[in-house]
Copies of this chain bind each other. A is one copy, B any other.
Amino acid sequence: MVKENEVPGRLEWRVNMPNGSSRILAPESRETCSRLQSLVMGIVLNIKGFLDKAWNLAVNEPKKVVHCLKVGLALSLVSVFYYMRPLYDGVGGNAMWAVMTVVVVFEYTVGSTLYKCVNRAIGTCLAGSLGIGVHWVASQAGDKFEPVILQVSVFLLAAAATFSRFIPTIKARFDYGAMIFILTFSLVSVSGYRVDKLVELAHERVSTIAIGASICIFITMILCPVWAGTELHHLISNNLEKLADSLEGYAAENFSVDGSKNVHEKDSSKRLQGYKCVLNSKAAEESMANFARWEPAHGKFNFRHPWKQYLKIGASMRSCAYCIETLHGGINSNTETPEFLKKPLNDVCMRLGTSSSKVLKEMSSMIKTMKKSTKLDILVDEMNSSVEGLQNSLKIFPSYQHIPTPDPATEETPNGTEEPSLKPTALSLMEIVQMATLTSLLVEIASRIEGIVEEVKELASQAEFRDESSKKSKQTQTEINGNDGNEHEVTVKTLQQV
């Protein structure tokens, strides 16, 4: 048996001894060494993985990196108040409040920064004046009752303000303000007991907060501003597109006759999963809509842009996504549908899937461009006629099916495979069930898409979307009117041109 450390060509573990010689490491120490090494390697790999992820995040969302730099800049600016003596003497030692305001108030979107600034201002002023008032009342009551009155008022107002944070309407708009109210009121009424120069203190605090808040607002609105409203707008429009992709992908995967399946596997599965984003975006939508209403007019949006309508669109989109989820869940079910049964309905299902996804895409581009679409109604009509087509073919479909038989004695029709020898056979409900579910889910999805269409139209009228340039719409109209028999193709062509 060859000993381990005698294997030729094998690297040896040697350590340098204090006397200058070197020694081969014994197996035990080697084990400890390798364990240590693997531990260190593990930590290094972990850190590397973490840094890789962070790097990817930074590369994929440069906006977030810009935000970080903006925070750094705001803090550097505010600390100038400490370094420059004249300013320092002006705002006094309370410049700390300016630093604190910047750290606490500076948020990712303009809307949330404004929300916090306004809340902080209102909360501070309200609580400050109330605190001074209570303090005055307490000071009139004599030394004995002063601490009692102050304590009781702190207890009652803190409890009341905390309770108000549980009320949904206040929570949505003034949660932060209520917290600042409690903070300021406690500080004022409590410190008033000692300091006795409350008004001066309040003035100093308000001015430093104003400095911090204005630096935040200035930087957040001037340097690469991230508007909550714009983000919400893009989110909704992207989600519509993702829904369309999911639906189109599903149709291509299940009903296509040609080689549409040969698209990139990974890419298509990612597109198929798009509806999941819609399922999970409720919280994001709500917080963005909440912040968006604090934002001034920007880009294409007025101050009173109907942000709430986006939430309605989001809700109807989710209701549609539930159906799509059920549809996708059905793919993995092991109820077998005989191929011969699927074939005849494939065409109508494919058409419905495609036309539904076109409606979704049109709405997405309508929101993206903020232009009213003349094509939307046409596409909805097309979708509805696809639904009717599907329902009609279901109606004319008898539930006993002509299935091809391998009987060699039957006559061959000239169409070859199109019309092979047929023989009526009764189907059990079991064999029909999957196809039936699929079709009725598609119909349900189409009807829920109509719900989205209504909400989007409501948005278009509330936000006064511009009309599409009259030239283009006229062109489309003429083409359609002139080609009644070929309406579907023309619409598609127009779509591709525009």
Contact = CB atoms under 8 A, between A and B. Distances in A.
Contacts of A54: 163-164, 167
Contacts of A426: 398-400
A422 to B, nearest CB: 16
A342 to B, nearest CB: 13
A14 B298 CA distance: 53
A160 interface: yes
A396 B428 contact: yes
A283 B154 CA distance: 33
A69 B183 CA distance: 16
A156 B441 CA distance: 54
Contact of A191 (B82, B164, B428, B440): B82
A100 interface: yes
A186 B437 contact: no
A186 B53 contact: no
Contacts of A45: none
Contact of A432 (B169, B194, B279, B399): B399
Contacts of A397: 428-430
29 contacts: A50-B167, A53-B167, A57-B166, A58-B163, A67-B162, A68-B163, A71-B182, A72-B162, A73-B155, A75-B158, A76-B154, A83-B147, A99-B183, A99-B190, A100-B183, A103-B179, A282-B282, A319-B329, A322-B329, A326-B444, A391-B430, A394-B428, A394-B429, A397-B430, A398-B426, A399-B428, A429-B436, A436-B436, A436-B437
Interface of A: 50, 53-54, 57-58, 61, 64-65, 67-69, 71-73, 75-76, 79, 82-83, 88, 93, 96, 99-100, 103-104, 147, 150-151, 154-156, 158-160, 162-164, 166-167, 169, 179, 182-183, 186-187, 190-191, 193-194, 279-280, 282-283, 319, 322-323, 325-326, 329-330, 333, 335, 391, 394-400, 426-430, 432-437, 439-441, 443-444, 447-448
